[in-house]
Amino acid sequence: MISVYCGIGRTVWSKVIRNNTAQTYLFTADQYYANYQFIYRLPKPIKLYPGDEIATRCMYSTTSSTSITLGGEPLEEEMCLHVFVYYPKMTNMAGCVSRISTKQWETIYNKSITGNITSQNDFKTWLQNMEWTQESRQTWQAFYSTAERERSTSNLNLTGTFFIPNYVDLNEIDCSVHNKTRTANNSTRIR
């Protein structure tokens, strides 16, 4: 797996979801650093089944920012790209991309953003001119967490819409200081 972030990405993980229950992590990086991107190989192969889903979550830190960070490819913008290599080859899919649906953006903006570059630039300016407060951050987090998504595959044709699914998550591992002991060779062991 290859993870790509720009400057504000802090954490990324991917999990296999089966029957609305998280099965295992495919990848987790709790301390992600954009200048140290790497390829991760699973310690052992896993088998995916029809209906399995892969949930990827990218987390960013913009707490010191006074303006919005837009999504996109330039370094001053942000993206989350997680690439998986799998076997055997699937002949009907080369890629999968998801994003908040245009309909949801148009609802919150209260204007159309499709059709011409001027309306898209006006939308971008509207976002950049927002005043960021604790309340507006919470509103935007709620929007992000509940907004309808669009899914595109292979040649990026829209294939449908969905919402972030609810699922039973994996149990957390307690890695607190109180849960660690020092061994004779001074390495740390988690109980």
What pLDDT, on the 0 to 100 scale, is given for residue 17? 93
Q: Which two tokens stand for residue 137?
A: 């951050």
pLDDT per position as a tens digit, 51-97: 888 888 887 777 777 777 777 776 667 777 777 777 777 776 666 77
Q: To the nearest 10°, the Cα dihedral for 1, 49, 152, 7?
A: -30
The span from the first CA to the last CA of the chain, in angstroms, equals 29
What pLDDT, on the 0 to 100 scale, is given for residue 191? 39
pLDDT per position as a tens digit, 9-57: 667 888 999 999 999 888 887 776 667 777 778 888 888 888 888 888 8
Q: Are 17 and 47 in contact (CB under 8 A)?
A: no
Sorting pLDDT into bands at 50, 70 and 90, what band is 190?
very low
Tell me the average pLDDT of the chain.
Answer: 76
Residues 6+ apart with CB under 8 A from 33: none
Q: Which domains does the chain carry?
A: 2-93+162-190 (2.60.120)
- 85-94: buried (b, 16+ CB within 10 Å) or exposed (e) per residue? eeeeeeeeee
Q: For the purposes of burial, counting CB atoms within 10 Å of the CB of 153, is it exposed (0-12), middle (13-18) or buried (19 or more)?
A: middle
Average the pLDDT over each of 5-9, 14-18, 177-181 and give the range with the smallest value: 177-181
What pLDDT, on the 0 to 100 scale, is given for residue 20? 93
What pLDDT, on the 0 to 100 scale, is given for residue 19? 94
- Tell me: pLDDT of 138 over 70: yes
The H or E element spanning position 123 is helix 117-128
What pLDDT, on the 0 to 100 scale, is given for residue 128? 87
CA–CA dist 186, 177 (Å, integer): 15
Percent of the chain residues topping a pLDDT of 70: 73
Q: Are 59 and 34 in contact (CB under 8 A)?
A: no
